[in-house]
Structure 1
Amino acid sequence: MDVKLKQCFIAVDDFDKALAFYVDVLGLEIRNDVSFEDMRWVTVGSPLQPDVEIVLEPPAANPDFSPADREAMARLLAKGVLRGVNFTTADCDALYQRVQEAGGDVLQEPMDQPYGVRDCAFRDPAGNMLRFMERREG
């Protein structure tokens, strides 16, 4: 089978803050910006991976969600309990410093893990956890 990841979705509550973080701080590029009815989706991705995209979407972007579902999703996003994305990087410490200097919400400073990576973690402006991993030799 020929199966590859194409897109993943991250809920955001403020597109301006999200884009400032994902584009200006992390260096991802905007690939698409779509509005439909009262919703907006912005697709970003790494220039190093032109075939993989992250879709930034409003919480509860499903048009079939009830008002109660939308409110529940907004509360979960505000608590920071929705899942995020794991990234790889060639230099975890340099990335950590860049995100920290930009005011990123630090969850974990860079540390060596027993499973062969050095990693750190932040929350994006919407509260999603993002982990950045550098593969260690040996």
Structure 2
Amino acid sequence: MGLNSAMATVPTKEKGSDEIDFVRWFSQLEGNLAETLNGVLLRAARPVQVGAASGAQNLASTSAGRLVGWSLREATGTAPGVVRIWDGRDNGGALLACVNLGQGASETQWMAPGGVSFQHGLYVEIITGAGLSDDVEGAVYLGGAE
């Protein structure tokens, strides 16, 4: 069971003393650090590479967050591509979006500032087989701190 409040009185120059609620302060700090890059607060969306690009990953996030957009393209120009975006660490969660890409086509979708919340992580699945291209690349955009 967590603390509801942890108050402390600290001396200040202006008022003589001030009370600090450490639980509230820590909760705010934790929220602010939730979306940082090397300790710098990200106020805009954070791009995460997905698909065939070098260094890309299919598991874009391992925790809760907000999907605020994507930019994807089918890179071969010879077959259509299909991308599914799931709430979870694999394709067993709730389907958040399905993106159909024509041969050599691209799609960019922007849903900020709100976006779509996900609870369990964000998994990007590139559907292959049946004449579909597995050479899809791009990025999903995850919402930053507000």
Q: TM-score range by the shorter chain?
A: under 0.3
Larger Cα Rg: Structure 1 or Structure 2?
A: 2
Q: Say which structure is richer in strand.
A: 2
Question: Scaled by the length of structure 2, what TM-score is found?
Answer: 0.22
Question: Scaled by the length of structure 1, what TM-score is found?
Answer: 0.23
Q: Say which structure is richer in helix.
A: 1
